[in-house]
Structure 1
Amino acid sequence: MTNLSYPKPEGVAPGNGYSHVVTGPGRWVAIAGQVALDADGKLVGDGDPVAQAQQIFANLDSCLAAAGATFADVVKLNFFVTDIAFLPALRVARDAYVDTANPPASTAVQVVALFSPEALIEVEAYAVVND
């Protein structure tokens, strides 16, 4: 069970689908940016941000499990998209995994390109595991 807290900073407007601050004791876990590659390294969802977002969150779930963590332990998500119009698809995939009442802190950035022209989205995660 996680021991995270979500302080509400004074003078800062509430986040829409994210928390400004997440804190907690425990072991730090950093998950490298995940793209929509399956277990064989093949891109999932060529040209489809919904399919790519779903694969990315499945990959993040697997990475967290390998570290003995779950999405309940995630304190920060960083989103990199090649088109800001992909954010709604990304949010739907995210909301299937995170506690929307206490979502992690998040940053979303539109970038010129990712490692491959077919990759539309990349997401990295940070978690704190209460051992």
Structure 2
Amino acid sequence: MPIHDRFTSVPNVAPGNGYAHAITASGRLAFVSGQIAVDADGALVGAGDLGAQTRQALTNLHNVLRELGADWPEVVKLTWFVTDVSDLPALRAVRDELIRPSLGELPNPASSLVQVASLFRPEFLVEVEAVVALSE
């Protein structure tokens, strides 16, 4: 019996090409693949706009969380990849707008941000992945 489940098809998120959107480990942890700014049809959202791309990437991530039976409070770690940190306030504003309200008194999850030379396609400005502690 496998100790994990693989979530390869998630409603309202474009299918992954050769990867699962999330994998649970021992039924308690889920590792969510990096989400980018594409809509359910795989089309880029927010060309040249880090805020708009962050919004779509977090929307996709939230859709994956719901498929896992989780929400923002269960996210224990976010890892961000951006091509330019100079517009970091736009990313933080969208993050706080979408995530903070559901956390209540909880602090934001642990987080790392890495500036990269590029993502897998040059038009993408941000990618975000998560580790999620699922309820028993």
Q: What TM bracket, shorter-length normalisation?
A: 0.7 to 0.9
Q: CA deviation at 1:49?
A: 0.6
Q: Partner of 2:53 in structure 1?
A: 52
Q: Distance in 1 between matches of 2:94 and 2:62?
A: 12
The gaps in structure 2 that reach 5 residues or longer are 1-26
**Does residue 128 in structure 1 map to residue 120 in structure 2?**
no
Aligned residue pairs total: 106
Deviating more after overlay: 99-108 vs 71-80: 99-108
Determine the structure 2 residue equivalent to 1:39. Answer: 40
Q: Distance in 2 between matches of 1:115 and 1:57?
A: 18
Answer with 40-49 or 85-94: which moved more.
85-94
TM-score of the pair, normalised by structure 2: 0.74
1:64-103 to structure 2, matched below 5 A, reads 64-95=65-96, 96-98=98-100, 99=103, 101-103=106-108
Q: Which has the higher helix share?
A: 2
* Structure 1 residues 10-21: aligned runs within 5 Å: none
The match for 1:61 is 62
Which position in structure 2 is the counterpart of 1:117? 122
2-side partners of 1:86 and 1:78: how far apart?
17
What stretches of structure 1 move > 6 A for 4+ residues in a row? none
Task: Answer yes or no: is 1:28 the counterpart of 2:29.
Answer: yes
Q: Secondary structure at the match of 2:99?
A: coil
Q: Alignment identity in percent?
A: 49
Matches of 1:76 and 1:115, distance apart in 2: 22
Please give the alpha-carbon distance, in whole angstroms, between the structure 2 residues aligned to 1:39 and 1:80: 21
TM-score normalized with structure 1 length:
0.77
Q: Where do 5+ consecutive residues of structure 1 fail to align?
A: 1-25
Q: CA deviation at 1:94?
A: 1.3
Q: Say if 2:105 is the partner of 1:104.
A: no
Q: Indicate the SS of the match to 1:127.
A: strand
Task: Give me the whole-angstrom Cα distance separating, in 2, the residues matched to 1:86 and 1:36.
Answer: 16
